[in-house]
Amino acid sequence: MPSPVFTVLDLETTGMGPSARIIELAMVRIENGQVTNRLSSLINPELHIPDFITRLTGISNTMIREAPVLSEVARRFLEFMAGTIPVAHNAHFDHSILNQELIRLGLNPVTDSFLCTVRLSRRLNKGLKSHSLSSLKAHFGIRHSSAHRAHGDAEATALLLLHFLEKLEMGNAPVTGADLLSFQYSPVGVKPVSEKKLTDLKSRVTRFPERPGIYQFIGKNEQVLYVGKAIRLKERVLTYFNGFHVKETKWVRLIRQTTDIRYLETGDELHALVIESRLIKRFLPPYNTLQRRLRHYPFIRLSARHPFPSFSLTREIREDGCDYFGPFSGGAVTGILNDLIEQSGLVRLCDDVTFSRGKLCTWYSMGKCPGPCTGEMSGETYREGIRLISDLLSGRGRGLIGHLEGKMNLLAEREEFEQAARLRNKLREIEKQTFKHVSAGGTLNLNTYVMFHVRDGETGYYLIRFGLLVTHGVLKSEQDLADLTAACREFYSGLAKDMELPPLGAEAVDEIRLILNWTYKNRKNLKFLFPSESETEHSWHDVILSTCGTLLTHRVNSQKNRKKPEK
């Protein structure tokens, strides 16, 4: 039987998540236990490389300026790896980013299963505390230059793979391609779950509904081991007893400790997300490792009560009367936003103490401040600039983008091409990232509204206050509409008495992020009703009907006009 052929790959990116772009890609082919070919290239991501990526990889914006874009080299790399087993260290990341980029280019994703050297190492080197690439290189004495560069890390990963293959052959372990792919998911020092227990738990799950909700794995003494969410409960929970989950160590341990599996219908996906988050924060289940970590998301704060307000970055919400935009996904996004505010030249960048001196500062001489401290600028003119920036931060307008594009064109006319290119890259990045993180209601202070979700012939509603879910339901009848009308009257009457943003802890901010992400994902099927749009001359009944459109009108009228069946 011929030995398998491997393509070891590594890539460097502008970051993580859906907006990440590849900036370097390298591949190393292994045949018959030897490296036989190599292919690598820097790649122009067509957007700005964040400073922290440059510090990590050494790849700068200058280096990739003349590099090919991915569409020019993608087919060459795909042909290089065709017919081989793809290999990577922490393969899930490389596989997902590569496919994300291929789909963006309109190409078919790589469907071949990846071999992961992290998984192999965990099964072959059980005594090691760390299986990171740097730790394994140190342990096995692998020396190479260019760490955190795709070509260097691909070479190191290839040497690791050769070492692992040799170890498997010495131990008479399987080395065929199919067996290797199966071996990487074999349990690591964990006894398999008995068939009797699997059958018992699966029989309970088969009674679950195919409806949205949350599920809990319960252990001894009623300990909550794991909390999850699902759009279809039965289908999702049954996956823990098939395929990937029954081979993965973490899930084998979870099922062994489980004495019961319970569920709670939520009626919709968003409510399931919120309930899942709240239960995880309450019970701290040991198998919800990621969701237990509270992240301190950044905000942009506007000192709204100052005659000439200014913007600043913060990770803390205070009861200070300021307006807060966010939460944003991370420091990279807020850094870009801050750069654009600075580049706009529309607002002051100094603190209040410096402003009170009434003297022009360095920011003014650099063209990055309009100089309101001199008293020669009206508050109305200044607040027009504040409005442009606020509209961008809340996703409600592109006026600032247009202003900065004009500034970019002016720099180009002056032949200041490097500054114009930097501004162009920032504009591209902000357009791709900002609107995924903005709130539906502008600032967090005003992020209070009724949201309607029209899906599968059903209209759900959500009352949101300060970005947090207050209550939700589904409009199925005239009575549901009457209940929502009453709830809206009570909801908005309370707002008039208390519109002050309260201090929000990390748990609340985490929930706001969940709702924002879900809102962005489902934005095409959502309609919003804000307090200012509830005109007093119309009844809430009419306002809600006009907001939801013809589908809700049809459903309510059909319920009202439905006749009782004859006896």
| Residues 6 or more apart in contact with residue 396 via CB below 8 angstroms | 442
Q: Count of domains in the chain?
A: 4
pLDDT in tens, 343-377: 777 888 887 888 888 788 878 877 788 888 877 78
Question: Comparing C-alpha atoms, which of 477, 440, 479, 486 is closest to residue 458?
Answer: 477
**Encoded tokens for 270:** 């968003």
Q: What percent of the chain has pLDDT over 90?
A: 27
Q: Are residues 168 and 271 in the same domain?
A: no
Burial of 334 (0-12, 13-18, 19+ CB in 10 A): buried
Q: Are residues 429 and 494 in the same domain?
A: no
Domain with 231 in it: 195-283
**221 or 429, higher pLDDT:** 221
Domain assignment of residue 99, yes or no: yes
pLDDT in tens, 112-157: 899 999 999 988 888 788 999 989 988 888 876 677 899 999 999 9
Name 10's bridge partners.
26
Q: Are residues 78 and 209 in the same domain?
A: no
User: What pLDDT is attached to residue 537?
Assistant: 43
Q: Are residues 16 and 165 in the same domain?
A: yes
Rounded to an integer, the average pLDDT of 403-427 is 76
Q: Are residues 252 and 173 in the same domain?
A: no
pLDDT in tens, 462-491: 888 888 888 888 887 777 877 888 777 777
Q: Are 468 and 444 in contact (CB under 8 A)?
A: no
Q: Are 252 and 246 in contact (CB under 8 A)?
A: yes
Q: Are residues 380 and 406 in the same domain?
A: yes
The pTM score is 0.57
Q: Is the pLDDT of residue 567 over 50?
A: no
3-state helix, strand, coil in the chain (%, to 5): 50, 15, 35
Question: Comparing C-alpha atoms, which of 186, 180, 25 is closest to residue 94?
Answer: 25
Rounded to an integer, the average pLDDT of 12-18 is 87
Q: Are 463 and 450 in contact (CB under 8 A)?
A: yes
User: What pLDDT is attached to residue 82?
Assistant: 92
Question: Which of the listed residues 391, 418, 436 is the one where a domain comes to its end?
Answer: 436
Taking the C-alpha atoms of residue 155 and residue 10, their distance in angstroms, rounded to an integer, is: 9
Write down the catalytic residue from 139, 148, 245, 541.
Answer: 148
**435 or 113, higher pLDDT:** 113
Active site residue 163: no
Whichever domain contains 272, its CATH number is: 3.40.1440.10
Taking the C-alpha atoms of residue 56 and residue 539, their distance in angstroms, rounded to an integer, is: 59
Q: What percent of the chain has pLDDT over 70?
A: 80
Mean pLDDT of the chain: 81
Count, residues in the chain: 567
Q: Are residues 177 and 122 in the same domain?
A: yes
User: What pLDDT is attached to residue 496?
Assistant: 53
Q: Are residues 45 and 176 in the same domain?
A: yes
Q: Is the pLDDT of residue 440 over 50?
A: no
Q: Are residues 20 and 152 in the same domain?
A: yes
What is the DSSP code string of 57-98? H---HHHHTTSPBHHHHHHHHHHHHTTSEEEETTHHHHHHHH
Domain assignment of residue 24, yes or no: yes
| Residues 6 or more apart in contact with residue 394 via CB below 8 angstroms | 325, 438, 439, 441, 442, 443
Rounded to an integer, the average pLDDT of 483-501 is 68
**Encoded tokens for 305:** 């009560």
Question: Which of the listed residues 392, 413, 436 is the one where a domain comes to its end?
Answer: 436
pLDDT in tens, 67-76: 999 999 999 9
Q: Is the pLDDT of residue 534 over 70?
A: no
pLDDT in tens, 214-271: 999 999 999 999 999 999 999 999 988 875 555 566 788 888 899 999 999 988 889 9
Domain assignment of residue 309, yes or no: no
Domain assignment of residue 213, yes or no: yes
Q: Is the pLDDT of residue 439 over 60?
A: no
